[in-house]
Amino acid sequence: MNTPKADGFAMPAEFAPHHGTVMIFPERPGSWGRVPSAAQAAFTQIAARLSQCEQVYMLVSDCTRDIARAMLPPEVRLLPIPTDDAWARDTAPTFIRNADGEIRGISWKFNAWGGEFDGLYTDYAQDDAAAEAVCAALDVPCYDARPFVLEGGAIHSDGEGTILVTEACLLSGGRNPQMTKDEISAYLREFLGAEKVVWIPHGIYNDETNEHIDNIAAFTAPGEIVLAWCDDPADPQYEMSRADFDVLSRETDARGRQFRITKLPVPHKPVCVTEAECGDYDFAEGEDTREPGERLAASYVNFYIGNDCVLVPQFSGEYAEDDSRAIKILSGCFPSREIVPIPARCILLGGGNIHCITQQIPAAAAEMQKMH
């Protein structure tokens, strides 16, 4: 099999039409607590809304199959595929499409965000096997991109030849340290069918994924980007977001367009883990742990674009005004979609947010014709 680019395949934008979304029902006690019911309810709310406009596939284990079936709408299709955690963005396939509307998947090497260098857990064999298993279940051909280490949260595509990434993540010591920046760019272009990789320096402060792109910046349309922003000079995010803005202001996309950048402020003060929340976790040996007062990587950029909606994290309580502002800003970015607020603190406590737990499957040719 050639590379996807040689075969005529490329990664569509998330805002392009979907066939569906892949999710994983949460159960890992080191991410979701000894009793993961709050996270399961949040995942269910997201799956239920998405199932109104596209097919949702939920990966389940032997332990979660019955509870997932009881909680989820009947339209959600369960896939009996075991995983180590619930980050479908990073462990499900990256889906690509060709000009004829055929769909294929990509299985990257997954090493729990850093392997022996700085990975978050030591046993990730099921996660690493999940992408190929999903492709098999959906009868979709799969490219094996190994030994290249990558997660879906580390890339954003505009669907027109541009891929957006962060240096902090892709150049981290636990990913592909044997490769140069130019070599990584070339590999991404071949596997994602792209013409240009735009690198920004930083993600969100204290993001344990080594600062994934999907928490700091996202394409909302060709040539248009939302960027997480901070106006407090005492906050580490202040300089990080400005450095990203400076790069994006100078860069152009694969078609030579200047980026139109919308600033999407992070919560006005850090969102931190409480002592009570810390007491709920049950960490496995070798798993990254949390401490009371630890800052979480809260960002409204970690939204997910469905066919007729945008699901936006909300942190509530003292962050209610921040929540409302994010909804208003994103309403302007997506005038034709319903902006759906999702209470997401319990997802953030796991280490990510709505975008991290969802992975889009592009619409195939027949579905595209129906949508038009």
- Structure-block tokens of residue 19: 């066939």
Residue tagged active-site, from 142, 169, 333, 356: 356
- Structure-block tokens of residue 259: 């980026």
Q: From the centroid of its chain, how far is CA 276?
A: 27
356 as an active site residue: the answer is yes
Q: Which residue has the tokens 């970015």?
A: 333
The set of residues, in sequence order, having a beta carbon less than 8 Å from that of 222 and lying 6+ positions away, is 13, 158, 159, 160, 253, 255, 257
Report how far residue 234's alpha carbon sits from residue 253's, in angstroms, rounded to the nearest whole number. 32
Report how far residue 291's alpha carbon sits from residue 272's, in angstroms, rounded to the nearest whole number. 9
3-state secondary structure of 160: coil
Please choose, from the candidates 359, 358, 351, 342, the residue with its C-alpha nearest in 3D space to the C-alpha of residue 28: 351
Instruction: Assess contact for 112 and 120: CB atoms under 8 A.
Output: yes
SS (H, E, C) 121-151: CCCCHHHHHHHHHHHHHHCCCEEEEEEEECC
3-state secondary structure of 245: helix
Q: Which residue has the tokens 């997954």?
A: 110
Give one word for 149, left, alpha or beta, with left for phi > 0 and alpha for psi -120 to 50.
beta
In 3-state terms, the chain is what percent helix, strand and coil (to 5)?
35, 25, 45
Report how far residue 154's alpha carbon sits from residue 187's, in angstroms, rounded to the nearest whole number. 14
Please choose, from the candidates 229, 280, 25, 241, the residue with its C-alpha nearest in 3D space to the C-alpha of residue 130: 25
Catalytic residues: 356
